[in-house]
Structure 1
Amino acid sequence: MGSALSVIVSGTRFSFKPLAIVILAATLVAGDAVAAFAAQYSAIVVDARNGKTLYSKDSNGRRYPASLTKMMTLYLTFEALNKGRISKSTPVVFSANAAAEPPTKLGVRKGGSVTVETAILSMVTKSANDSATALGELLGGSEANFARMMTAKARQLGMDSTVFRNANGLPNPGQFTTAHDMAILGIALREHYPQYYGYFSTRSFMYGKRRINGHNRLLGRIKGVDGIKTGYTRASGFNLVTSVSTGGRRLVAVVMGGKTGRARDNQMARLIHTYLPKASTRGGGDLVAKNDSSPVAAIAKVLLPKHDAPTPDKRPVVQVADDDTAQTTVDTVEAKTATVAAYAEASQVDPLATASVSKGAWVVQIASSPRQSEAKAFLEKATKKAPTVLADASSFTVAFDNGGTTYYRARFGGFGSQTAALKACKALKRKKIDCYAVQQ
C-alpha cells in the first residue's frame, strides 16, 4: 500500500491518487461470496500526524462495514451542523421505516422525535440503528438518497473502495468498504470537525430516566483512546476503528473481521501498544481534504432520483444485527420510507396559491424534482386528484441544494398541527398519492 495513507491531500508533501468522478454501478454479491469474506481479518495502523502506514494486513481487502457505516452518517451530520443547515436541537422525526429498524435501537415510536444531539449520542454509544436511519432521512430526504450522498462524500475524501447503501450498516450485500478507507474516515472526522469529535469519547448518556452505555470497551481501558466506533454483523465479524492521542502522538487504527468482540479488542490493544511508540510527534496540515466545493456534482446529478416520493410505510424484518449484540442477520430489507424532518435550508419558497408557509408549521410533501416545473406539475395533479382533501391547503415549492444541484420539493401547507398533516397525508394515500408529513 505504500508508506503514506492514500487520501486526498491539500498542501502536504505526500503523493496521492487524483479524485476520480465515477458512476457507481449496483454491486450484486451471491450467497457464497458473502461467506468468502465474512469475518476475514484485515487491519491498518496509520500515524495520524503524517499519514504514514505503520502496519497493514490486507487493508485494501473488501469488507462489510457493519456499524462503522455510522461514522459516515455522523460525518454528514457534523457537516450539516457546521454549515447551519441543522442545529443540535433540531427535531429528528422517526418515520415508520426508522422506528421499525431492528436493534440495537433507541426505541422511538413512529412519529416521535428526538433532538439531533440525542440521535448523535445514541449512535456513538448504543449504535442505534433507528437513529441513524432517521438522521439519514432528515439529511437526505430518504435513506436511499442519503446513501448516495454518503458514497459521494466517500469519493470526496478519497475512499475509493467504499459504497454505502444505508445509514446504519445493517446487512446489505452491495455495501462494502476497506480497513484503509475506514482509516481515512477516522482521520477526517477529527481533522474536519474537531468541535464535534468529542462525541466519540462519550461512554454513556442519560435518555430520559434511562442510562445508555456505550459499546467501545477500549475507552478508559487504554490511555489516550478517544473513540471512534465499533461494528458487528455475522457477515462482517467484529470491527473497530480506534483513535489514540497521547504524548504528542496520534494514531488511527482499524481492525475488521474479528471472531469475537474480545479478540478484536485485544488485537487492537496489541496494535496500539506496538505502534504508538513508533508514531511521530511532528507533522502538520490536514491529511484529508474536505473538498467542500463538491467536485462530485456530476455523479450526484446522475445518481439522484427525479423525485423522492416515499415507498410503503411497512416492511418485513426477519432478523436483527448490530455491534456486540446477539448474532442475528436481516434477511429482508425492503424499500425505505422517505419520512423526513426538513433541513433548515428551505429558505427559497415559491408560493403557487396563497402565502408561503411559516417556519415550524407542518406541511405535506408529495415529491421533489430537479425541475421546478415538474414539482409544480406534481402539485397540480394532486390537487385535481384530491380536491376535497386539499381544499384548504396552499401549494408551494421549496428549493434546496444537494451536491451542487438545485432540487424543488413539492409541498402543501395550511395544516394547523402534525395531526392534521398526518390525517391529510393518510387521505392522499387512499387516493394513491405518495406523501409524508414534515415540519417546515
Structure 2
Amino acid sequence: MFDLKFTGIKGFVVLVVLISMAVAGRVHANPRYASIVINADTGTVLHESNADASRYPASLTKMMTLYMLFEAMRLGKMTLDTRMPVSAHAASMPQTNIGLRAGEMLHVRDAIPALIVRSANDAAAVVAEALGKTETNFGRMMTDKAREMRMHSTTFRNASGLPNRTQKTTARDMAILSVRLMKDFPQYYHYFSTQSFHYKGTTYNSHNRMVRTTRGVDGLKTGFIRASGFNVATSAKRGERRLIAVVMGGKTASSRDQHTAKLLDRSFKQVTVTQIAASSINTGDKLIARGYLRADAPIPAAKPILTLAGKPDPAAILQGRLTPVSNVSVNTYLPKNNSWAVQIGSYFEPGRARAQAQAATRWVAGEVAVVEVEISNRTFYRARLVGLRKNQAHTACQNLSRNGIDCMVVRSHG
C-alpha cells in the first residue's frame, strides 16, 4: 500500500498509473478500444489509452454536424424556426431515423433533439444538405472545421457516422470536439442532456443512459456501428470540476457505460490533487525567468501538468518552432506599472512553464515571465505574458484564444 504522506503527489501519480495499467490490461484484447479523460477546465490529460489510434466515430460524428449547425445559427444563417427541406436522399437514410419523407420540411428546433436523442440519420442528412448543398460537400466542410480545431487525425465523409471506411477519428480528437461544443456554444449545451423528445406523435428516448445513471454526467453523445463498437463522449461535473471522457470500441452499451463511469470516478480523484495549483490566490508571485523571445529554433518537448482551459497543449503543437528564454533575471518581482498579465497555465516545473509561454508568443508579442508561487507547501510555476495594460492583456488573450491557446487575464502584484 502507498504511503501518500511519504510519497506525496509522485506516489499518487504512480498509483494512478498502476490503476490505468490494470484497466488497459483488461481492454487490451479489444482491438477497437480507445479512451481518454481530460479536465475540461485545464486541458490536463488524466487518462489515455490508444487515444491517438485511428477509429470509426460512428454517431459521435453528429457532434460535428451539430457544431456546424450551431455555428450557422450564431452567424445568423439559421434560427430555431428555420425550415429545412427533406430530400429523397435524406429520406432514404437507414435506422436510426425519425421517418422523414421526401418533400417534408424539418425545423431546426426539431433537428437538434433528433440528432442528440434519437441519433437520427435522416435528420443529419437534412442538416448537411441545408448547410452544404450535398452531404458529400458537407463532409468536406466538417473536415475543414476539424482542421481548424486541430483535430488533425479526423476525416468526415458524411453527417451521420454511417459506415464509411475513410471516415476516421481518434479519442483525443473527439475530446477536443466535445470541449469546443461546450466552450463555443454554451447556450446550446443543455440540449445534450435531453432524455426524450416528441415528434409527430412519437416519443423518442435517449440512447445516453449515463445522464440518468452516472453522477454528474450531463451530456454528450453515444454512437455505434459494427466496425466501431459502442462509443461515447461524455461530460461530467462534480463540484467545480468538469471532466470529458471518450471511450470507443465498447463490446456492449452497458459495458461501455460501466467502464466510462469507472474512468470518471478515478479521474475525479486524480484531478483533486492536480488542480491545487489552479485554486491559489494571485499574491506574492515571484518572477524567476523573464525575457523577450524569438521563434526561430526548437524547444524541448514539454507536456504540461496544468493548463488553463479546454484544449491540447499548444507547446506540444508548436514543438520545434520556438527558442528558450533569453535575458533571464532571477528572484526579481513583477513591475507595478503596466501590471496586467495574460496567464497561460501553472506547472510543476519551470521549464514546462517557459515552453508554454513561448508557444503563446507565436501569435502575440510580449514579455514572457515564469512566476514562482508557493501553495500548500509546494512550488508551482505560472506561465505569463507580463507588463501589459489592461486593454492590451484582454486583446492578447482574445488573439490567443482564436489561435487555440487558452488563457486568462490576471492582475499582477509587485
Pairs within 5 Å for 1:125-164: 125-164=117-156
Q: Does 1:201 align with 2:193?
A: yes
Q: Is the Cα contact below 8 Å between 1:39 and 1:237 reproduced in 2?
A: no
SS in 1 for 2:218: strand
Indicate the residue corresponding to 1:70 in structure 2: 62
Aligned to 1:116: 108
Matched length: 253
Contact 1:81 1:87 in 2 (8 A): yes
Distance 2:129 2:264 in 1: 36
CA RMSD, 1 decimal: 1.7
| Aligned match for 1:270, one of 262, 271, 281 | 262
Q: Distance in 2 between matches of 1:130 and 1:38?
A: 31
Q: Tell me how far 1:135 sits from its aligned partner.
A: 0.2
Distance 1:42 1:245 in 2: 22
Within the alignment, does 1:287 sit opposite 2:310 as a pair?
yes
The CA distance in 2 between the partners of 1:211 and 1:170, in whole Å, is 23
Consecutive unaligned residues of structure 1, counting only runs of 5 or more, are 1-36, 290-440
1:67 alignment partner, SS class = helix
Match of 1:42 among 27, 34, 39: 34
Higher relative contact order (CA 8 A, sep 6+): 1
User: How many angstroms apart in 1 are the aligned matches of 2:85 and 2:259?
Assistant: 39
- CA deviations 1:99-147 (Å, max 9, x no partner) are 0000000111011112111011011001000000110000111111110
Deviation at 1:285, TM superposition (A): 5.7
Deviations 1:282-318 (A, max 9, x none): 48865349xxxxxxxxxxxxxxxxxxxxxxxxxxxxx
Report the counterpart of residue 218 of structure 1 in structure 2.
210
For residues 43-94 of structure 1, the C-alpha deviation after alignment (integer angstroms, 9 at most, x for no partner) is 0000111101000001000000000000000000010111111000101211
2:169 alignment partner, one of 170, 177, 189? 177
Measured after TM superposition, the shift of residue 257 of structure 1 is 0.5
CA contact (8 A) 1:93 1:134 kept: yes
- Normalised by the size of structure 1, how large is the TM-score? 0.56
Query: Residue 231 of structure 1 aligns with which residue?
Result: 223
- Structure 1 match to 2:77: 85
Q: Tell me the distance in 2 between the aligned counterparts of 1:65 and 1:275.
A: 23
Give deviations 1:127-177, integer Å, cap 9, x for gaps: 000000110000111111110110000000010000000000000011000
Amino acid at match of 2:251: K
Q: Which residue of 2 aligns with 1:97?
A: 89
Give 1:166's aligned residue. Answer: 158
Question: Structure 1 vs Structure 2: percent identity of aligned residues?
Answer: 48
Is contact 2:155–2:167 with CA below 8 Å preserved after alignment?
A: yes
Structure 1 Cα separation of the partners of residues 138 and 77 of structure 2: 15
What corresponds to 2:183 in structure 1? Answer: 191
CA, structure 1 residues 122+39, in 2 after alignment: closer, same or farther (shift >3 Å)? farther
Question: Which structure has greater helix proportion?
Answer: 2
Alignment of 1:249-328 (within 5 A): 249-279=241-271, 280=275, 282=278, 286-288=309-311
5 Å matches for 1:53-64? 53-64=45-56
The two structures have a TM-score, normalised by structure 2, of 0.59
Superposition pairs for residues 362-373 of structure 1, below 5 Å? none
> Aligned equivalents of 1:56 and 1:225: distance in 2?
19
Structure 2, gaps ≥5 residues long: 1-28, 280-306, 313-414
For residue 245 of structure 1, the aligned residue among 230, 237, 249 is 237
- Contact 1:42–1:57 (CA under 8 A) maintained in structure 2: yes
Cα 1:39–1:82, aligned 2, differ >3 Å: closer, same or farther?
Answer: farther
Q: Secondary structure of the residue that 1:256 maps to in structure 2?
A: strand
